[in-house]
Structure 1
């Protein structure tokens, strides 16, 4: 598992969803999409790596219709 903290492109659009961290099965790359628990779909703008954690910077997202 790969763990990342989440940051959004514009703080005003920060989701109220509980996620401030996400675990993925494979390494995240710019251009990939993630879907958060509130059903919103976000494109990864860029990834940063620090000594103890990595961050995903996401666009403001698009809500995915629930079917």
Structure 2
């Protein structure tokens, strides 16, 4: 499992839910798409790695219709 913190391009786009961290089964790469629990779809713009954690920088996203 790979754990990441999430950052959004604009501060106003940050979610208030505990979506600031995400665990993925495979490593994330720029260009990947991620669907968060609120149904919004985001593209990974940049991945940065630090000693103890990695961050995903996401685009503004598109809300997917809930079915």
Q: TM-score, normalised by structure 2?
A: 0.94
- CA deviations 1:10-45 (Å, max 9, x no partner) are 112112222110000100000000011100000000
RMSD: 0.8
Could you list the runs of 4 or more consecutive aligned residues of structure 1 that deviate by over 2 angstroms after TM superposition? none
Equivalent in the alignment of 2:62 = 62
Q: Could you tell me the TM-score, scaled by structure 1's length? A: 0.94
Is residue 31 of structure 1 aligned with residue 45 of structure 2? no
Distance 1:16 1:53 in 2: 21
